[in-house]
Structure 1
Amino acid sequence: MDMIETKALEFAYPAEEGEKPVLALRGVDTAIEKGSFVVVLGHNGSGKSTFAKSLNAILLPCGGKVYVEGMDTQDEACLLEIRRRVGMVFQNPDNQIVANVVEEDVAFAPENLGVASEEIRRRVDDALAAVDMTAFMTHAPHLLSGGQKQRVAIAGVIAMEPECIVLDEATAMLDPIGRQEVLSAVHKLNREKDITVVLITHHMNEAEEADRVIVMDDGRIALDGTPKEVFTQVEPLRTMGLTVPDTVDLLDRLRKDGLDVPLDALTVDECAAAITAALAKN
């Protein structure tokens, strides 16, 4: 079953006076399956963040449609329900943290939804446990690291009990440790709570463990498939100004030097095994 569906989705930002609006999304047709982990890649200006903000009605189409479990994002009567089902986590966690204590911040959204106090307590505890931040419950958010802050922001979204979480470049401002913390947290949510995850990123390595990778270019979907199907398209990716994972880059260079290795050994272990096997054949 589909969590989100887009049909011929178009979006244009307002233009300067006298200028024509330029489409940021140009007829995007796709469906995101419930419970899946989908990574959306693309260089700056490819339309990936515009696509992300269209998934829970932050941005509304100027053409085509977006449906969240069958609900039209342009139907105002469905807006609250759509936002409850699809939670957003943005690039800068400081823009999403509103309270002076971690547990109060996580409780903020359920309180605004009118959830009963006992239920809020349960949701806060569950959400902090889900992102391994229970030990920081009474801490001040501004004293946390970037990765910890982003996990608190994710916990705040989880407390709304969404069926889908969209992370719009949520790891972009983090160091490698912070990025790994956030990725581990969202993979755990996807695996253990069956929450649909849409991760918008420009870090290729974050896509290796996804169910599916969508590559955007010039407001359109350029490539769509499993990580192995997408990352073996080395030249098309480079033409779009994108790199490939380090493992694929190494395998591609070895192939050009005459070593018979596959391009779809994405993980470090798979890559090492592929090179070892190829060298043993020689």
Structure 2
Amino acid sequence: MSFIEAQAVRFCYDTEETGKLEVLHGIDLSIEEGEFVALLGHNGCGKSTMAKLFNGMLLPTGGRLLVDGIDTLDESRVLDVRRRVGLVLQNPDNQLVAGVVEEDVAFGPENLGVPPEEIRKRVDEALKAVDMYHYRTHAPHKLSGGQKQRVAIAGVIAMETRCIVLDEPTAMLDPRGRAEVMDTIKKLNREKGITIVLITHYMDEAVQAGRVVVMDSGSILMDGRPREVFAQVERLKRHALDVPQATELCYRLKAAGVDLGGAPLSVEECVELFKNKQKTH
């Protein structure tokens, strides 16, 4: 069985205007332990709802969602689910609860009833994992946006979750902060084998994942490796979805009669295609 498994998952919100509003329509999705998955889609497609379902913050109104074989609908296993899947939200200020960085990172393990000596060890290791150990005695509110988000990630690591779900963690950050957070995510996935589910609207972040899942209107539209997904430019555009800038450039050049012979995912790949094109002329 997969580490996270959505089986025909449906979810409804209660609204005053229309009563029940279904935002997920029978989602089937499997995520293996150790994967790095980017979850894409425009606003309102159900991405954030999926994120909250993954760690039991929300519960399916239809179907089942299993985490490491645990049904999230089993109320007696809520803590077990959250020990396995941690959630990092868009605004780090909403997740920082203490006046000192190391105290903030200790908050999650304390709530799980971890012994003090073990908490000390976990906090130090988590801060080192996100390169924030030197800031352990600093006040969180004095940190940059990227640093705050890395502290929020450290708080999840200290809970020793095997999966981290990040819901647009770089949306409020500058380019430097975005790069810091992405480097941290990739390092945790590569070196610690932590399963990563990254919800993002930045295509240059999505191409760094091993797998891309595209959602549209509460359903899964596409699922595959970044190169397979982003090669389908026309299909993505029909659903008002973006592609990486390098892919977009080559798509437009091809439409104008200049075929570089590929669908690059990065600037570097685009440059290589230009060089190869020059060599053949």
Q: TM-score, normalised by structure 2?
A: 0.97
Paired AA for residue 12 in structure 2:
A
Q: What is the alpha-carbon distance in structure 1 between the residues aligned to residue 36 and residue 222 of structure 2? A: 16
The residue type paired with residue 119 of structure 1 is E
CA deviation after TM superposition for structure 1 residue 176, in Å: 1.1
Alignment of 1:230-245 (within 5 A): 230-245=229-244
Find out whether 1:114 has 2:110 as its counterpart. no
Residue of structure 1 in register with 2:40 after alignment: 41
Q: Kindly provide the amino acid, as one letter, of the partner of residue 264 in structure 1.
A: A
- How far did residue 257 of structure 1 move? 2.1
Distance in 2 between the 1:275 and 1:3 partners? 42
Question: How big is the shift at 1:196?
Answer: 0.1
Q: Residue 10 in 1 paired to residue 13 in 2?
A: no
Alignment of 1:183-194 (within 5 A): 183-194=182-193
Task: Please tell me the residue identity of whatever aligns with 1:169.
Answer: E
Q: Distance in 2 between matches of 1:263 and 1:224?
A: 20
Secondary structure at the aligned position of 1:277 is classed as helix
Q: Alignment length, in residue pairs? A: 281
Q: Output aligned runs, 1:9-158, within 5 Å.
A: 9-16=9-16, 19-158=18-157
CA displacement at 1:20 relative to structure 2: 4.0
Deviation, structure 1 residue 263: 3.7
User: Would you say the 8 A contact 2:90–2:169 is kept in 1?
Assistant: yes
Whole-angstrom distance in 1 between the partners of 2:263 and 2:60:
36
Deviation at 1:199, TM superposition (A): 0.3
Paired residue for 1:201? 200
The alignment's C-alpha RMSD in Å is 1.1
What do the CA deviations read for 1:223-244 (whole angstroms, capped 9, x no partner)? 1100001111111211222221
What is the correspondence of 1:231-270 to structure 2 with a 5 Å cutoff? 231-270=230-269
Q: Deviations over 1:43-89 (max 9, x none)?
A: 00011111111111111111111000111000011110001100000
Aligned-partner residue type, residue 24 of structure 1: V
Distance 1:189 1:264 in 2: 29
Instruction: Decide whether the 8 Å contact of 2:213 with 2:223 is kept in 1.
Output: yes
Residue by residue, what CA displacement relative to the aligned partner does 1:127-168 show, whole Å, maximum 9, x if unpaired?
001101011111000000111000000000000000000001
Give me the whole-angstrom Cα distance separating, in 1, the residues matched to 2:24 and 2:192: 31
Aligned AA for 1:22? Answer: L
Identity of aligned residues (%): 59
Are the equivalent residues in 2 in contact too, given 1:217–1:240 (CA < 8 A)? yes
Instruction: Using the TM superposition, give the Cα deviation of residue 7 of structure 1 relative to its aligned residue in structure 2, in angstroms.
Output: 0.6
CA distance in 2, matches of 1:133, 1:102: 9
Task: Say if 2:268 is the partner of 1:272.
Answer: no
User: 1:111 Cα deviation (Å)?
Assistant: 1.5
In structure 2, runs of 5+ residues without a counterpart are none
Distance in 1 (alpha carbons) for counterparts of 2:280 and 2:259: 9
Which residue matches 2:178? 179
Q: C-alpha separation between the residues in 2 aligned to 1:236 and 1:170?
A: 27
Q: Which moved more, 1:153-162 or 1:104-113?
A: 104-113
Does the CA contact (< 8 Å) of 2:244 and 2:266 recur in 1?
A: no
Using the TM superposition, give the Cα deviation of residue 279 of structure 1 relative to its aligned residue in structure 2, in angstroms. Answer: 2.7
Structure 1 residues 79-107: Cα deviation after superposition (integer angstroms, max 9, x where no partner): 10001100000011111111000011101
Q: Using the alignment, how far apart are the partners of 2:221 and 2:131 within structure 1?
A: 36
Superposition TM-score, scaled by structure 1 size: 0.97
Distance in 1 (alpha carbons) for counterparts of 2:177 and 2:262: 29
